[in-house]
Amino acid sequence: MDESRNGGGMPAPKKLDRSASVEAFLGGKVREARTLLRFKQDELATKVFSSGSVISAIELGEDVPSRDLARKLGLVLGLGDDIVDLVKLIESSQVRGYAKEFLRKQLQATVMHEWAAHVPGLLQTEGYARALLLAGEESTEVDAYVQARMERQEKVWGKATPPLLWAVVDAAVLYRGPREVRRGQLQYLLDMSDRPQVTVRVLPFDAEPGVVGYLSVLDLPDGGRYGYVEGHSTGRGTGEPGDVQDLARAYDRAAANALSALDSMDAIKEALNDL
């Protein structure tokens, strides 16, 4: 967390350019209001039923609160509907600005290593994508999102030489969601795993937790690498070698704790048979 501390050489809060993005502007408003009320991040987190790390990420523009959390922040900080309105503004773009570069590079990638708390976009069925998006978007926008996601899959998997995809997914994926949607999605994971380019592994419930949300490390044709990490409603891409290496290590930790590919297929089949 970036919580300010007094004395002892402890770090001051990280500086934030509120003009850099809507996310940064939102984070700046939250930090400013919290500071005026003399709340520490953990104190504010308790009041809005969240965590200090989430508040820190919001204030730094690294994550965007859900609408429910935005309403609570507005109420506690005396900001009215300002935070909710900013969240709606961020959500209104079909392709978030922060994701455009990642999506462009994803189409170029030769190898992809991904960790996801949900099924990664390139492995989603239309029904799963729709259910996932309905949980966080206005229903009128979902059709466009789903269509764009399905078209992206066609572009990636329709290549003469498709990329290699190594995906680690949270075990909760096997048991969360509407029954019929899960049935189709689990079968699709099995079908996609039959492709020589695709390896899916499951991180079991008793394993050390992976990174929250989603991360991807792309190997590019020019020998470079690109990393991307995404939270609830925001993300960050980077081509900086050190940052990419950090994300690669996070993926490696998840992969090290995951079931083998064969055991993962057995886990998916077991979950499918239980439906």
233-262 pLDDT, tens per residue? 677 888 999 999 999 999 999 999 999 999
Q: The domain 97-273 is classified under which CATH number: 3.30.870, 3.30.460, 1.10.287, 3.40.50?
A: 3.30.870
Parallel, antiparallel or unpaired: strands 214-219 and 225-230? antiparallel
Looking at 2.60.40.10, 1.10.3720.10, 1.10.260.40, 3.40.640.10, the CATH number of the domain 22-91 comes to 1.10.260.40
**DSSP secondary structure, 175-225, as one string:** T-S-HHHHHHHHHHHHHHHTSTTEEEEEE-TTSPP--SSEEEEEE-TTS-E
Q: What is the dihedral of CA 166, 170, 171, 172, to 10 degrees?
A: -140
pLDDT of residue 10: 41
Please give the share of the chain, as a percent, with pLDDT higher than 70: 86
Label residue 133 by pLDDT band (50, 70, 90). confident
Radius of gyration, alpha carbons of the chain: 20
pTM of the model: 0.65
Is the pLDDT at 158 greater than 70? The verdict is: yes
User: Which is more confidently placed, 98 or 264?
Assistant: 264
Q: How far, in whole angstroms, is CA 83 from its chain's centroid?
A: 21
More confident site: 92 or 132: 132
**Where do the structural domains in the chain lie, given as residue ranges?**
22-91, 97-273
